Amino acid sequence: MHHFQYQDGRLCAEDVPLEKIAKEVGTPCYVYSHATLSHHFKVFDGAFDEVPHLTCYSVKACSNIAIIRLFAKMGGGVDIVSGGELFRALKAGVPSQKIVFSGVGKTKEEMRMALKVGILMFNVESEAELFALNQVAKEMNKIAPIALRVNPDVDPKTHPYISTGLKKNKFGIDISIAKQLYLKANELSNINVIGIDCHIGSQLTTLSPFLDALERVKRLYKELVAKGLDLKYLDLGGGLGIPYHEEEPPHPTEYAKAIMEAAKDLHCTLIFEPGRVIVGNAGILLTKVLYLKQNQEKNFVIVDAAMNDLARPSLYDAYHEIFPVKKEARDTFVADVVGPICESGDFLAKDRKMPKVEAGELLAVMSAGAYGFSMSSNYNSRPRAAEVLVKGDEYFIIRERESYEDLVKLEKIPAWME
């Protein structure tokens, strides 16, 4: 469900015409629907009301502090993977006791930041990280609460670049040696073992990988409890997919029902790290057609958004629906929708059958709320797009468009060059 619909032949975000936003804010820009964000969070979080749980929004999906703040006000926590995301979460008002810190490469400075504010737990990804965290905590006279991220070697059947739970992936600790490392962790002076963490990938469209992973983690959980470990949390990560095109992922309530049934014999709080399933279809990338171009092989629709604004098509060959903002009867053609960047990989769609559009009109790139702006860059010295949040018949600029001055404000020319 999302709140981007045509009204009187014009595509709107809730009750705000996208034409109005384009005229007043400019393009390209990201537009998010408050109603969709709120609804998606409520549906996911509410599906687990029967059991103790904490929904920790995955900040990397869309990291604007206004969006993080929205979920925090609804009772959510966050899953972070860097000191910068920790800073954002605190700036947005997330209680530190609702923050879990994942990621394979936590630095000692990031560990200190998190220990200082008292986060809920670190999801530790290696033996080396475990000993480093214990040392940092000892130097600070703190106790670090941890879960080990266990790699269950389950194939999530998703794109290889967003698979995280196989033996060949860089993430987590092989489940076959996890018990041994847990027992080591339990002996460390400044470590408090409080949970198990597992995350197998992103954009999963079936339940079986989640349930396979849970069964393997449950066995480990019970073995550790039998050894006397007091495990309070089971973090099952995120990864539930969304419909971009023809996918039919399970509904969050179906996912919740299956997980709760499988975990009913565990006496712990469940933690979830949804990202894409909350924000993916709550945002679009609004762009303007600059030129039409045709050669002997192809039609090209050249727009003012590019791979630096939305990397997913170039990076994953990902599919995003693209709709004209103005709905009218028109012929169709097959075209590549491309941006201005000097790379052949700069495209938003390839060989797409679509309405014949004209220079100057607006297009909406759908399902761009997750891994859209958060993965954007300044490649080709392009200022990053504005971000807009729509609520009802009003909109709010939640990130200003970057200026050319912003591009160089941290750069310096050495005095000897002057």
Report whether pLDDT(10) > 70. Answer: yes
**In this predicted structure, what is the pLDDT of residue 340?**
98
How confident is residue 163, by pLDDT bands cut at 50, 70 and 90? very low
Catalytic residue among 29, 62, 268, 342: 342
Cis peptide bond upstream of 28, omega within 30: yes
The domain spans of the chain are 4-31+280-408, 34-276
Neighbours of 222 (CB within 10 A): 13
CATH number of 4-31+280-408: 2.40.37.10
- Is the pLDDT confidence value at 158 over 60? no
Whether CATH 1.10.3720.10 fits 34-276: no
Q: What is the mean pLDDT of the chain?
A: 94
Q: Among 140-144, 158-162, 213-217, 354-358, which is the least confidently predicted range?
A: 158-162
How much is the pTM?
Answer: 0.94
Task: Look at residue 245 in the predicted model and tell me its pLDDT.
Answer: 87
pLDDT at site 168: 56
Provide mean pLDDT across the span 316-329.
96
Confirm if 151 and 157 have CB atoms less than 8 A apart.
Answer: no
What's the pLDDT band for 418 if we cut at 50, 70, 90?
A: confident
Give yes or no for a contact between 195 and 234, defined as CB atoms under 8 angstroms apart: yes
Residue 146 pLDDT: 98
pLDDT at 162: 40
Mean pLDDT of 201-216: 88
Per-residue pLDDT, 303: 98
Q: How confident is the model at residue 209 (pLDDT cuts 50, 70, 90)?
A: confident
Q: Is the pLDDT of residue 317 over 50?
A: yes
What is each CA distance from 185 to 106, 229, 301, in whole angstroms?
17, 10, 56
Of 302, 363, 287, the closest CA to residue 327 belongs to 363
**Is 342 an active-site residue?**
yes
pLDDT digits (tens, 9 = 90+) for 212-258: 889 999 999 999 999 999 999 999 999 899 989 888 889 999 999 99
- Span of 104-113, 124-133, 148-157, 298-307 with lowest mean pLDDT: 148-157
**156 pLDDT above the threshold of 80:** no
Task: Give 138's contacts (C-beta < 8 A, 6+ positions apart).
Answer: 189, 190
The sign one gets for the Cα dihedral 113, 118, 120, 123 is: positive
Give yes or no for residue 159 having a pLDDT over 50.
Answer: no
